[in-house]
A and B are shown apart, each in its own frame.
Chain A
Amino acid sequence: MTTHLEVIDAGLGVSIQDLGRPGYRAIGVPLSGALDPLALAAANALAGNGAALPALEIRFSGPTLMLAEGEATRLALMGAATAEIIGPEGEKRLAEPQTSFLLRRGEKLKVGRTNGTAYLAVAGGFGVERMLGSAATYARAGLGGIKGGVLSPKDQLPCNGVGEDEDALHQSEALPYASGPLRVLPGPQEDQFTPEALDVLLSAPFSLSPAMDRMGMRLEGARLNHNDRGADILSDGVLPGAIQVPGDGQPIILLADGQTTGGYAKIACVISADLPRLAHLRPGDTLRFARVDRTQAAAARRAQAEAFARWKAGIEIWKAPGRIDIARLYTTELITGVTAGYCPA
């Protein structure tokens, strides 16, 4: 019998995402996938999975899920959200942050509001059908996820793995995000703006407007003026991170579900290493931008990959009280990192 989580409460903005659906942009299919692939990979690592398995992305408020079928499954939550496990008799225990935990049959997991985007991974990944190579939900075209959309009550989420092991995987360090201004590469239509516009982008603060979803985020701030060529271009290829500026001079940053081609001049693009940071911005947050060059963008990417590898290598095994499992210590790939020599009581 397969293990299933039943959706009791769908939360808000909860969808199944993986690393997205590359390869179909020429026919208008957005990349989709996790807004923060780093946090997705982290949640998956804590659940004992590879980085790319489908997990739940939680944008605003978390779902309540019940293990309706199967004995137990292992889950891990990554991101600024709390979660509690509610037993069949109503007894509650807190799910430790950045620590995998078992959910047993009849138990409910209630994930609260998120501050930023959070990811809930399950051992083995969610067993949803891949469409065009990915399980990522793209609701506009009904691709991926559960019936092509965000979670709804009564949805059944098939879980590929089972959880028997009482040990937990834990990492107390926060994910290594870069700080400071968001780094951008100018282009490709910076010559449709006044010479001052790029300086304004790189010096003025911008505020994130409430108009944001998985397609993109609107910013409010100093006006970025176009020159005589104007704001409109013949649509050309875009990608997540592209900063397009319509005629009102207020920039829009495209995100994972953003359309594949766009008809507004693009003044710059957020570098790929900084895309995960966009996932955690909230309406009203202040953003600043800094210019980098291609070499710096590549270095930032490498630095991020190395920092994440260190974070992952630092995942500890929390032995369940009273259990010693030497064999597991030697067989788990996580032994390459530092393994905690204690068991939380």
Chain B
Amino acid sequence: MSTGEARPFAPFPQVRPLSDTALTVVFGTEVDPQVHAQVMGLARQLEALRDAPALAGVSEWIASFTALTVYFDPDVADVAALEAELARLAGAGAKAILAGRVWTLPACFENDYAPDLADLARLQGLSEEAVVSQFLAARYRVYTIGFLPGFPYMGGLPEALQVPRLATPRTEVPARSIAVAGGMCAIYPFKSPGGWRLIGRTPLNLFDPAREAEPALLAAGDTVQWQRIDAARFAALEAEADAGTLDPQQFLGEGPHDHAS
């Protein structure tokens, strides 16, 4: 690799230029709920201050693991003033106290929904059942949405289940696949190429443009826990989701839910 020496990082938070239309506020370098709380805290402040003159021209922002990227119209924004305001807000250290919504989402491990479950169990010297029960026991924090519309990057995968991505990515991962890689868990909203390991499937639509106000099911800051469902229950929920009649709000809150109909 390189012979060059890394310059030391300046103290966090830092406001860095991404382009002439975006700035990124960086709070740290590691996946850490405390760092993410600072990211979400700044996002909340921006939401509250949307109409403030110092934020003129700001159009949107993305909360990610350790950073908040702010997009603006340079024909409207005073970039130097915006940069100073973001530094001031970030430095004020407001952390989002509220953790976002808590979801209990259905997950099925049957049929051909979990093609990498056996491999993962073998790699870790566990039974498939042990993998599933460890997976179900954890709570996952949505750090950011990216890669695809509605695709959640969730931290919190138990260490015993942490394996690298597939050496050769699949050319097609089925929509609604529940996937793991490293310490992360995700759900593929659409079929797509992908290198994460597939260990289950949810019947829900992670992204639906018909839900105009909130097309993505999950948002950065949300917490997800999983509830096991069998293949029959999966089929019933999937049919509702395909028909557009499944109200995802029923999966809000701490589980377990009673899905008996």
Contacts of A294 in B (CB 8 A): 17, 20, 79
Beta-carbon nearest neighbor of B66 in chain A: A234
Q: Is the CB of B209 within 8 A of A143?
A: yes
Main secondary structure of the interface of A (DSSP, over half): mixed
Residues of A within 8 A of B (CB): 22-29, 131-132, 140-143, 185-188, 191-197, 225-230, 234-239, 241-242, 259-262, 266, 269-273, 294, 297-298, 301, 305
Q: Is the CB of B215 within 8 A of A301?
A: no
Q: Is the CB of A26 within 8 A of B192?
A: no
B219 CB–A CB distance under 8 Å:
yes
B196 CB–A CB distance under 8 Å:
no
B60 CB–A CB distance under 8 Å:
yes
Number of A-B contacts (CB under 8 A): 175
Residues 45-61 of B contacting A (Cβ, < 8 Å): 59-61
Contacts of B153 in A (CB 8 A): 235
Indicate which residue in B6, B7, B74, B209 contacts A131 across the interface (CB closer than 8 Å). Answer: B209
Q: How many residues of B contact A (CB 8 A)?
A: 54
| Residue interface bits B90-121, CB-to-A below 8 A is 1, else 0 | 00000000000000000000000000000000
Least distance between A125 CB and chain B CB atoms (Å)? 20
Least distance between B164 CB and chain A CB atoms (Å)? 12
Least distance between B75 CB and chain A CB atoms (Å)? 7
Contacts of B65 in A (CB 8 A): 234-236
Contacts of A235 in B (CB 8 A): 64-65, 144, 146-147, 153
Q: Is the CB of B17 within 8 A of A185?
A: yes
Which of B21-29, B123-131, B229-237, B244-252 makes up part of the contact surface?
A: B21-29
B16 CB–A CB distance under 8 Å:
yes
Q: Is the CB of B19 within 8 A of A191?
A: no
Query: CA separation between A35 and B59, bound complex, in Å?
Result: 20
Name 30 A/B residue pairs within 8 A (Cβ), A-sorted.
A26-B145, A26-B219, A28-B145, A28-B148, A28-B207, A29-B149, A29-B215, A141-B149, A143-B149, A143-B209, A186-B17, A188-B24, A188-B26, A191-B9, A194-B3, A197-B4, A225-B1, A226-B2, A227-B4, A227-B6, A228-B2, A228-B6, A229-B6, A235-B153, A236-B65, A238-B18, A239-B22, A261-B147, A262-B146, A272-B74
